[in-house]
Structure 1
Amino acid sequence: MHPFIHIYIILLCIISSFFNSQATDTKPQTQSSLVLGLSHVRSLYTPSMTLLNSTKYDFLDIVEPVTAYTDGYLLSLNLGTPPQVFQVYLDTGSDLTWVPCGTSSYQCMECGDQHSSSKPTPMFLPSQSSSNTWDLCGSRFCVDVHSSDNRFDPCAAVGCAIPAFTSGLCPRPCPPFSYTYGGGALVLGSLARDSVTLHGSIHGIDPLSPVEFPGFSFGCVGSSIREPIGIAGFGKGTLSLPSQLGFLGKGFSHCFLGFRFARNPNFTSPLVMGDLALSSATDDGGFIFTPMLKSVTYPNFYYIGLEGVSFGADGGSASTMAAAPPSLSGVDSQGNGGVLVDTGTTYTHLPDPFYASLLASLAAVVPYGRSRDMEARTGFDLCFRVPCTRAPCAAEDDELPPISLHLAGGGRLTLPKLSSYYPVTAVRDSVVVKCLLFQRMDDDGGDAGGGGASGPGAVLGSFQMQNVEVVYDLVAGRVGFLPRDCAVRA
């Protein structure tokens, strides 16, 4: 979920023991996380993408509902025949799609309160799907998940000659894998193939109806660290969901509901893949566009450039903008710098000393007193005691300044105030405490899995994308932003 994926070859016996171990249940609560009180094998599979590449899907758009959770956004996956339904995190910062899976209970270590429920974690049961099989050792997905440039490739370890699996002719199932994320998160599992059913429309005009995509490759995960419920990878790599379904030649969009709707399944907003995602994202439609930067080192992820940050209702001017360090406006030849657009990271992370200077500037212009005790309790760096006689305390009624991101190419994205500051207490003595929900970029990349010595210079997280429609225009190579009430579009 956090972007930089390092694939480790682990002895098969060790992986197998993890994969079959016992367990219980959903996403980690770190000290800096804030609880906002919201919401097989039947036959060897011969890889074939014929159906997915057929003209039947040339004009297909996919529209899926997305719901808010306590620290991210969830997408429903319908896997298998008949379909088994799973709620997974929508993550643009990774490629692998996986679900808890297997014949024994799912084990998740360091998963905090969300995994302490007595209710068992839903698990995909391969034996209950007539269309399920394990992915093969020589498939491009197996090669991708196993870092094939290692001379001790596990496909060779299970008795498959290198020429056989590189040519796609190895008849053995793909060996178990280890897939890691930033912040020390890890999943262990095996690659499976099965049908995934989504909701599609031809030209975005016909009514939505189920569309089955056969042969979808995903992780059947039996145990994990800090990753409790599953992930839909939306990066640009071979394994990602839009890549496998053929939508990386077009693009996709999402409009995240406000976190006040978290854990409320009655409110959803759309994830759109295909031409429909791009049709409304025009220069005269109010969208703010910025170029999609390229990283030779990390080509599977979505980068944009940041030129500065300003405070105030007018969004600031060039003279009042705090200039970002040059490393945030582009990605160098070693893959360092830029801003990663990562829906799998909750809060936006900015590097020091730029972040520290922004905190000082913001504290100087806000006319409210600090709540030091709440800063200590939540881990957020700026919390203010804001006057409020009665809930709800509307954001437009306070004097906290809007925050604007000045993007490469000249666009200015003014974030909705609730995407920057959030009330972390109830009204008490006519005061509510609101905290700035940005965080410091760790030297080692922290939650974002990069930064410091390598990787992105900053990360744009999902909290700052709430009530902003975001379009990933892979045709024109750009990312577009449009602040709007995503609940209205739901």
Structure 2
Amino acid sequence: MCFKESVFGSCLILIAFACWFNAKSGEAFGTTFGFDIHHRYSDTVKEFLNLDGLPEKGTVDYYTAMAHRDHLLKGRRLATTTTNPPITFFGGNETLQIPSLGFLHYSVVTVGTPPVEYLVALDTGSDLFWLPCDCTNCARSFNVTRGKSVKLNIYSPSTSTTSAPVPCNSTICVRPQRRCSIRLNACAYQEVYLSANTSTTGILVDDVLHLGTDTDPQDPVDAPITLGGAKCNKPLLDFFFFSGFRCGIIQTGDFLEGAAINGLFGLGMDNISVPSILASKGFTSNSFSMCFDPEGVGRIEFGDKGSADQQVTPFNLRQSYPTYNVTVKQIAVEKNVTDIEFSAIFDTGTSFAYLNDPAYSVIAQGVS
């Protein structure tokens, strides 16, 4: 099955029918083959795709939808000639949900020169991209199934020719959670997360993130980014009072117990997040998209601005701590619908939904 655009810009669906053969004798039951062409809004396609909400053929709404779609297709075609196409991780845009690693969504990223791969958790609830760095106690592998394991690499600035520590006078170092390591002349950081006693501490370094266009084959895109290196085998106090660390200090809490054991990819709004860096350097527009499949496989793209006719939800921007915060106005538990308004953060780095009253009680009472 394939898709093709008509001369008018509307989408057609082509369904091919080949010859049928007798599997035992190899005798053909037909001597020719061909295919039928059906328009997207035809009754055949509507039945085949089981789509709801398409207008009835021959109605005013039908022709209005046709014209609207043609306009969008032409607009997208013109837009791709003037803006950069979406990009994703080099090697593909696939994301995976891994139950044994905290039910978070993961992807393989490639960093440094020569390039090295890391399996990182994707987190819209934080900004920093960090990797375990120069450590002896960090996880080196994890078991996928019985008898099969995946190797986990450890980042080391000394082995990447494109790596350099972020100096103390950098503008990104002037933040409450970052301070200067005078002895190393490098910007140090500490990030504390929602989960109890979970944090990462280290220094910031500049290096290259290897990306590619979301095409097949990919065109390589090497983007200079800032990331954090977190060491696993030093006590927290050493970080602030001693200079015997190189890349960072420790990971605590869930980062040592099965979640994001090979790094965390912050996708937040701060200027240090990778989407923000890509936009500021002109690689993509300041947007990205993530899709999640019920089976745990999804995809991610940077610079995806969506379509003009899609429904949108505005963010509640808080200047002190900008997050993907949205307003929820209604809760439905089976057929019971309750009008209730509260704000919530969309966070791919959190495995569970956390609700306060009265929203929590509405759901708890509805399922009891």
TM over 0.5: yes
How far 1:58 moved relative to its partner?
A: 5.2
TM-aligned CA distance change 1:119 to 1:342, over 3 Å: closer
Q: Among the aligned pairs, what percent are the same residue?
A: 26
Residue 12 (structure 1) aligns with: none
The residue number in structure 1 matching 2:15 is none
Which amino acid in 2 is paired with 1:182?
L
1:311 partnered with 2:311: no
Q: CA deviation at 1:95?
A: 0.4
- Aligned match for 2:207, one of 169, 194, 209: 194
CA–CA distance in 2 between the matches of 1:256 and 1:119?
23
What residue is the counterpart of 1:291 in the other structure? 314
* Closer/same/farther in 2, CA of residues 99 and 282 from structure 1, 3 Å limit: same
Q: Is contact 2:213-2:221 (8 Å) kept? A: yes
Residue 203 of structure 2 aligns to a residue whose secondary structure is: strand
TM-score relative to the length of structure 1: 0.46
Residue 248 of structure 1, CA deviation: 7.9
The residue that corresponds to 1:158 in the other structure is 182
Instruction: Give the corresponding residue for 2:84.
Output: 59
Structure 2 equivalent of residue 278 of structure 1? 305
Q: Does the CA-based 8 Å contact 1:100-1:124 persist in structure 2?
A: yes
> What one-letter code is carried by the residue in structure 2 that aligns with 1:255?
C
Computed over aligned residues only, the root mean square deviation of the Cα atoms, in angstroms, reads 3.0
- Distance in 1, matches of 2:288 and 2:151, equals 33
Query: 1:43 aligns to what?
Result: none
Deviation sequence 1:128-168 (CA, Å, 0-9, x none) = 21111111111123224x547xxxxx43x727xxxxxxxxx
TM-fit CA distance, 1:295: 1.4
Aligned residue for 1:177? 189
CA contact (8 A) 2:143 2:149 kept: no
Q: One-letter code of the match for 1:250? A: N
2:189–2:203 CA contact under 8 A, matched in 1: yes
TM-score (norm 2): 0.60
Shift of 1:175: 3.9
- Report what 1:220 is aligned to: 229
Cα distance in 2 for partners of 1:158, 1:74 equals 35
- Give the secondary-structure state (helix, strand or coil) at the position aligned to 1:244: helix
Unaligned runs of 5+ in 1: 1-56, 149-153, 160-171, 262-267, 329-337, 364-490
Is 2:86 the counterpart of 1:89?
no
**Paired AA for residue 195 in structure 1:** V
Instruction: Say if 2:288 and 2:305, in contact at 8 Å, map to a contact too.
Output: yes
Which residue, out of 134, 137, 142, partners 2:173? 142
What displacement does 1:306 show? 0.5
1:359 partner amino acid: A
Structure 1: distance between partners of 2:271 and 2:96: 26
Higher relative contact order at CA 8 Å, sep ≥6: structure 1 or structure 2?
Answer: 1
Show CA shifts across 1:106-147 (max 9, x none).
448xxx999xx9988520122221111111111123224x54
One-letter identity of the residue aligned with 1:218 = L
Measured in 1, the distance between the counterparts of 2:86 and 2:290 equals 13
* Bigger Cα Rg: 2
| C-alpha distance in structure 1 between counterparts of 2:305 and 2:332, whole Å | 29
- How far apart are residue 250 of structure 1 and its match? 3.3
Which of 257, 263, 266 pairs up with 1:233? 266
Q: CA contact under 8 A between 2:333 and 2:363: conserved in structure 1?
A: no
Once the two structures are TM-superposed, the CA of residue 294 in structure 1 deviates from its matched residue by 1.4
Q: What is the rounded CA distance, in whole Å, between the counterparts of 1:106 and 1:217 in structure 2?
A: 24
State the 1:270 CA deviation: 1.8
Determine if contact 2:113/2:162 at 8 Å carries over to the other structure.
yes
Match of 2:17 in 1: none
CA distance in 2, matches of 1:69, 1:119: 12
Aligned equivalents of 2:328, 2:285: Cα separation in 1: 26
- Aligned ranges for residues 96-135 of structure 1 at < 5 Å? 96-102=128-134, 104-107=135-138, 121-135=152-166
Q: Is the 8 A contact 1:62 1:272 kept in 2?
A: yes
Amino acid paired to 2:269: K
Note the alpha carbon deviations across 1:185-213, whole angstroms, 9 max, x for none.
Answer: 11121111111101225xx7x84222111
3-state secondary structure, aligned to 2:275: helix
- Give the AA of the match of 2:287: G
Q: Indicate the residue corresponding to 1:209 in structure 2.
A: 219
Q: Does 1:69 align with 2:98?
A: yes
Structure 2: runs of 5+ lacking an equivalent:
1-81, 233-250, 256-260
